[in-house]
Amino acid sequence: MRSTVSIRLPDELTKHLDEIAKETGRSRSFHIQKALETYIEDFADLRIAIDRLRNQKDEVISGKELRKTLGL
């Protein structure tokens, strides 16, 4: 299933998007979709990281301890 969404972009961003679309031979929609997918994945990762930082039961180790555990 697909939905149509309208957005307003600043002219400068549209210009860059058009340049990328022309260079790659892909549509604006393709690049916007890929950018949103990446943003949503990154946001989900951020949520997990914040939840783990807030969880007082989740053990925190130093970088030195981590390197030692990984044998680095």
Tens digit of each residue's pLDDT (9 = 90 or more) over 24-44: 999 999 999 999 999 999 999
Statement: the pTM of the whole predicted model exceeds 0.75: no
Please report the pLDDT score of residue 56 as a whole number: 85
| Closest by Cα among 36, 13, 18 to 28 | 18
Helix axes of 28-54 and 11-24: crossing angle, nearest 10 degrees = 110
Q: Which amino acid is at 64?
A: K
Please report the pLDDT score of residue 25 as a whole number: 98
Please report the pLDDT score of residue 59 as a whole number: 83
